[in-house]
Amino acid sequence: MEEIDQERRTLFGFNTGEAALAAMGAVAASTAFPLQEAVAQQAESSTDIDIVNFQLNLEYLEADYYLRGSMGVTADQVFGSSQGAPVKGGARVRFSSPVREGMIRNIAGNEVAHVRFAQQITGSRAIRRPPIDFEAGFAAVAAAAGLRDFNPFASEMDFFLGGMLFEDVGISVLKGSARKLRSLSLRESAAGLLGSEGYHMGAVRSVLYKMGEPARSRAAAISNLRDRLDGPQDLDQPPVKVGEMSNIAPANENGIAFGRTPQHALNIVYGKPGPGIMAGGFFPEGFNGRIRST
C-alpha cells in the first residue's frame, strides 16, 4: 500500500511544494424540513445551470479545505487566479503516514477537477466563490456538537472528520438533485460525480473507523448534529451504527444512498435549522447563485 502511494506521489510530483502546485494546476486545466410552497416552486423552476452552480458552491468549499490541509496552499494558487471572495482559515495538517497524506492529496486533486468541470459546464454563468470562513464554521460545529478542541487543521483525526462533515452532505444533495436535471449528459456526469465523492467518503469513513473509539464518538456527534440541523427525519448515519461493526456507506434498506434537498444541505452548512435562512456557518454571506435559501 505504501509502495503504491509512493509511486503515485512520484508520478504527480507531490514530493515538493512547487511540483505539487504544478501537478494540481494540470488537474484543474485538464434533507428534512417539509418544503414550503415557495421552496417547492423554486426547486421546480430551477434550471440545470442553477443546480450545477449550487453544487459549485460546495466544490469551492471542498477544494480549499483539502488543498489547505494536504499541502498548505489555496485554490487561487492552484488555479493561478482568484476564484472569487476570500477564504478564511486553514493550514497544512501533519499526517501520521504517507498513505493518509496521499489519500487526502488525491481527494484534493479530484475536488480541483470538480470545480473546473462545473465552471466549464456553466461557462459565463458560473458563480464566483462566495466568502468562506473555516474558522467560524468549525467553531460553530464544535459548540453545537459538544466537541471540545475540535480543529480540523490542527489534528489529523479532526481533519478526516471535517471531510466527512462536508462530503457526506455533498453526496446526499447530489443524489437528491439528480432527478431535477433535464440534460441526460448532465445526469450521467452527476452520477460520475456522486461516484467520485462516494469513493472519497468510503475511504475517509474507513479511516475514521480504524482510528477507534475517539474518532467514532466524534463522528457520531457530527452525524447527530447534521440530523438536528436538517430536520425531524432521522436520515444521517455515522461510521458505526448501534449494534453494527461499521457503516461505510450511509444507505437505506435497499442499500441506496439517501438524498437531501438543497434546502436541507443549506441548513447544515449555514449551521441553522428552519426555513428562510440565507447565510451563516461556513458561508457568512450565503451561497452564490439562484438556490441559496433554506
* Gyration radius (Cα) of the chain, Å: 18
Closest CA relative to residue 64, chosen from 130, 112, 114: 112
pLDDT band of 65, cuts 50, 70, 90: very high
What's the pLDDT score for residue 253? 81
Mind listing the pLDDT tens digit for each residue in 90-102?
999 999 999 999 9
Mean per-residue pLDDT, 269-281: 93
Q: What is the per-residue pLDDT across 98-145, written as a single tens digit (0 to 9) for each?
A: 999 999 999 999 999 999 999 999 999 999 999 999 999 999 999 999
289 in a structural domain? no
> In the predicted model, what is the mean pLDDT of residues 180-194?
89
In a domain, 51, yes or no: yes
- For residues 163-172, average pLDDT: 89
- State mean pLDDT over 212-236: 86
Residue 45 falls inside a structural domain: yes
DSSP letters spanning 14-51? TTSHHHHHHHHHHHHH---SPPPHHHHHHHHH--HHHH
Report pLDDT for 242: 57
Mean pLDDT of 197-220: 92
Average pLDDT over residues 246-269: 86
Percentage of the chain lying above the pLDDT 70 cut = 84
Q: Which domain holds residue 243?
A: 2-30+33-270
Q: Measured between alpha carbons, how far is 35 from 240 in angstroms, rounded to an integer? A: 30
Average predicted confidence (pLDDT) for the chain: 84
CB environment 26-65: b (16+ within 10 A), e (fewer): ebbeebbbebeeebeebbeebebbbbbbbbbbbbbbbbbb
Decide if 121 is inside a domain.
yes
pTM, two decimal places: 0.86
Q: What is the pLDDT of residue 53?
A: 96
Residue-level pLDDT at 10: 37
Q: How confident is the model at residue 248 (pLDDT cuts 50, 70, 90)?
A: confident
Q: How many folded domains does the chain comprise?
A: 1
Domain-located, residue 257: yes
